[in-house]
Amino acid sequence: MCAQDDTKSDVPIFVQTGQTDAGGDLDRWRQVGEEEARQAYEMVLRNELSGGTPVVREFEQAWREMTGLQYCLTTCNGTLAIYSALFGLGVGPGDEVICPTYTWICSISPALFLGARPVFCDSDPATMQLDPADLRRRITPRTRAIVVVHLWGWVADMDAIMAISRETGVPVLEDCSHAHGAMYKGRPVGSIGQVGCWSLQGTKPVSGGEGGVLATNDVEVFDRACLLGQVNRMAGMDLQTAGYQQHQPLGLGMKTRAHPLGIGIALVQLRKLAELNERRRQYVETVEAALKDMPGVAPVPTSEGSVRGGYYSFPIHYKPEELGGRPAGELIDKLKARGIPATGSTYQLLHRLPLFAQGFDIFTRGRGPLCEGTWRRPHEGDFPVAEKLHRDLVFLPVLSDPAPGAVERVVAALRDSVREMAN
Ligand SMILES: Cc1ncc(COP(=O)(O)O)c(C=O)c1O
C-alpha cells in the first residue's frame, strides 16, 4: 500500500494509494478505473474545481442517506474531519480526549492542536476494539470527548460505550476511517455517537485520493464545523441556525474544505461500496471458517450484533501458546515464503511513539498538552492487552476479487504453515 519510489529522480516520492496490484496475483480488483477517470475528466471540463459544487452536494446527500444522519460535511481529509468534529464538540485547552492506543495517530492528533490532552485506553483482547471497562476507568471531570475507532473495519461495542457516554455526559466521536458501510445492531457506524468521521484517503474503501467526511445529527457540532473552515457555507444554504450568522460567510477563516475532484471520485466509489463489502466479506468469512480446525490461529470476532464493513485490513489472532511459544513473525515468514503477503501490525501503538512516550513542546516555550508538568508519559506495560494484540495479530491480504484459486492458496498456505510450526 505504500511505496518509496526513488527510481525516476533523485527526489524520493512517497506514494500511498491503494495500488491496483496491492493483492499481487491474488486479486483482480482495480481500486480506480474508467468511471473515476471519467468523473474527474467531466468535472474538470465543467470547471467544478472549488467549493460546494453540485457533485460535492450530491456526495453529502448520498452520505446523509447512507448514515441516516441529518447533517454532513466533506473535508480535505479525515484528519480535518476529526479536527472539525472535536472543535464542533467544544474540545479546547485543558480538556482531555480519550482514544485507544491501538489506532492511527490522526484519531487523536487533532485534539493536540485544540490544546487538549490525549488519554489512551486499552483494547478488548477478543475484538481488539476500545475496551469499555478501561474507558470507564479513564474518565475524569476534564474528559470532553471519547474517540471510538472501528479498527480495521471491525466494530466496537457501541452499547457499552454509549452507556458510559450517557452516564458521564461525555460525547462520542466515531472514527470510521476503516469501516465504511459497517453496521452495529442495524445502524450504520458513525451514526451512533454524537458525530461520525471517515477518511477518504487513497487506501480507504471509499476513496477520493484525499478527502474526509463528517456526519452528525447534532446541529451545534455541524454549525461549528462549518464555521471553522468551510468558507462561504452560509445560513440558508448550509448552516442550520443563525447562531453564527454575524461571522458568515468567512467563518473563523480556517480552511478545511474538500477538493471537489476528490469528492467526485469518492462519489463513484461510494456506489461500489456495497459490492466491495460483500466481496470482501465472502473472502474473509471463507478464510475464517477454515481457521477453525487449525492450531494457533483464530478469527477476530466483531462485537455482538455488528456487521463488519470496509475491511481495511484482515487481522487474525495468532496464539503462540498453541504453537510452542513461537513468535507471530515465524508464521508471517512462512506465509510470505508461500507467496502470501502477510504482515504484522502496520500501526505503531500510540503510547510507544516518541511524541507521546517522551512528550513534545508543541507550541514552544513550554506550552501545550504534551509538556513537562502537564503530560504524564505513558510507559511500556501500561496497555497490556493492546501490546499483546500488537505482537500477536497477523494480517492476511484483503482480497476484493480473488483470482481463481487465490482463496484456496491463502487457506492452504495457512494450513501448511501452522502444521510445520506444530511439528
Ligand atoms: C483510523 C484513522 N483515523 C483517521 C485517519 C486520517 O485520515 P486522513 O489520512 O484522510 O487524514 C486515518 C487514515 O489512515 C485512519 O486510519
**Tens digits of residue pLDDT in 352-363:** 999 999 999 999
Q: Is the CB of 177 under 6 A from ligand 1?
A: yes
From atom 3 of ligand 1, which residue's Cα is the shortest distance away? 107
Contact, 273 vs 206, CB < 8 A?
yes
- 3-class DSSP assignment, residue 216: strand
**Is the previous residue joined to 132 through a cis bond, with omega within 30 degrees of 0?**
no
109 burial via Cβ count (<10 Å: 0-12, 13-18, 19+): middle
Beta-ladder partners of 215? 72, 196
Q: Where are the domains of the chain?
A: 34-268, 273-346+384-422
Stretch 399-403: mean pLDDT, rounded? 97
pLDDT of residue 19: 54
Please give the single-letter amino acid code of residue 304. Answer: E
Tell me the C-alpha distance between 189 and 242, whole Å: 30
Instruction: Give the pLDDT mean for 396-421.
Output: 97
Pick the CATH number of 34-268 from 3.50.50.60, 3.40.640.10, 3.90.230.10, 3.90.1640.10: 3.40.640.10
Q: Which CATH number applies to 273-346+384-422? A: 3.90.1150.10
How confident is the model over 4-18, as pLDDT tens digits? 444 455 666 666 665
Ligand 1 atom with minimal separation from the 201 CA: 10
**11 φψ region: left (φ > 0), alpha (ψ -120 to 50), beta (else):** beta
**Per-residue DSSP letter, 93:** T
Q: How many angstroms does the Cα of residue 93 sit away from the middle of ligand 1?
A: 23
- Asked whether 106 lines ligand 1 (CB < 6 A), one says yes
What was the pLDDT predicted at 237? 67
Give 236 Cα–ligand 1 centroid separation in angstroms.
Answer: 31
Mean pLDDT of the 122-148 span: 98
Amino acid at 129: Q
- Percent over 70 (pLDDT), the chain: 93
CA-based R_g, the chain, Å: 22
pLDDT, position 231: 84
On whether the CB atoms of residues 142 and 318 are closer than 8 A, the answer is no
Per-residue model confidence (pLDDT) at position 238: 75
Q: With a 6 A CB cut-off, is 75 part of the ligand 1 pocket?
A: no
Decide: 149 in ligand 1 pocket, CB within 6 A.
yes
Residue indicated by cell numbers 487481522: 315
Q: How many Å lie between the centroid of ligand 1 and the Cα of residue 178?
A: 8
Question: Per-residue pLDDT for 239 more than 90?
Answer: no
pTM: 0.95
Q: What is the three-class DSSP state of 191?
A: coil
78 C-beta closer than 6 A to ligand 1: yes
Are residues 99 and 120 in contact, defined by beta-carbon separation less than 8 angstroms?
Answer: yes
Give dist(CA 158, CA 305) in Å, integer: 10
Q: Whose CA is nearest to atom 8 of ligand 1?
A: 78
Counted residue by residue, the chain has a size of 423
185-238 pLDDT per residue, tens: 999 999 999 999 999 999 999 999 999 999 999 999 999 999 999 987 765 667
Q: Which atom of ligand 1 is nearest to the CA of 203?
A: 14
Ligand 1: does its nearest atom lie under 6 Å from the Cβ of 212?
yes
Residue 74 CA to residue 405 CA, distance in Å, equals 40
Taking all residues of the chain, what is their mean pLDDT, rounded to a whole number? 94
| C-alpha 79 to ligand 1 mean position (Å) | 6
Is the C-beta atom of 260 inside 6 A of ligand 1? Answer: no
> What is the mean pLDDT of the segment spanning 149-176?
98
pLDDT at 17: 65
Q: Calculate how far, in angstroms, residue 312's C-alpha sits from the geometric centre of ligand 1.
A: 11
pLDDT the model gives residue 245: 82
Ligand 1 centroid, distance to 350 Cα (angstroms): 14
Counting residues of the chain whose pLDDT is more than 90, the rounded percentage is 88
Tell me how far the alpha carbon of residue 289 lies from the centroid of ligand 1, in angstroms. Answer: 30
Rounded Cα distance between 226 and 376, Å, is: 34
- pLDDT at residue 97 tops 50: yes
pLDDT tens, 279-324?
999 999 999 999 999 999 999 999 999 999 999 999 999 999 999 9
Instruction: Identify which of 106, 107, 213 to mutate to test ligand 1's pocket (most ligand atoms within 8 A of the CB).
Output: 106
pLDDT in tens, 82-95: 999 999 999 999 99
